[in-house]
């Protein structure tokens, strides 16, 4: 079966996809067709592959942490802007009506 591994150049997600005939594969996350076909390792495990996998996982974890930190800072800036310029406290929970 033509099962291939891909990495999306647009969003960076990695995935496996069954590609048949002249079908053009697309990223399931962002639907981009700008993909890199990766070399598949048929359940090969060695010290080298484990180290490479661990290093890649740590890199992804750091990237996700940096992305979350950036998003959190953007939200805090927006909330501060709403409070300072409009007097709106968007972080406060609304009081229930009687």
Does 59 lie in the same domain as 25? no
Residue 19 in any domain: the answer is yes
Separation CA 34–CA 7 (nearest Å): 9
How many distinct structural domains can be found in the chain? 2
pTM of structure: 0.40
* Nearest residue to 50 (alpha-carbon basis) of 60, 62, 58: 58
The predicted structure's pLDDT at residue 53: 85
Residue 95 in any domain: the answer is no
Q: What tens-digit pLDDT sequence spans the chain (98 residues)?
A: 567 889 999 998 888 888 888 888 899 899 999 999 887 666 666 788 888 888 888 888 888 888 888 889 999 999 999 889 888 887 666 666 66
Separation CA 86–CA 29 (nearest Å): 36
Residue 76 structural domain: 42-90
Report the CATH number that the domain containing residue 21 is assigned in CATH.
2.20.28
DSSP type of residue 13: -
- CB-count burial class (<10 Å; 0-12, 13-18, 19+) for 27: buried
Does 36 lie in the same domain as 1? yes
């Amino acid at each position: 079966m033509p099962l291939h591994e891909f990495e999306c150049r647009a969003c960076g997600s990695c995935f496996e996809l069954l590609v048949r005939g002249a079908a053009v594969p697309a990223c399931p996350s962002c639907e981009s067709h700008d993909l890199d076909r990766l070399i598949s390792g048929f359940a090969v495990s060695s010290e080298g592959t484990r180290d490479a996998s661990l290093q890649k996982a740590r890199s992804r974890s750091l990237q996700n942490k940096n992305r979350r930190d950036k998003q959190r800072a953007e939200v805090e800036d927006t909330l501060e802007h709403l409070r300072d310029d409009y007097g709106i406290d968007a972080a406060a929970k609304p009081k229930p009506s009687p």
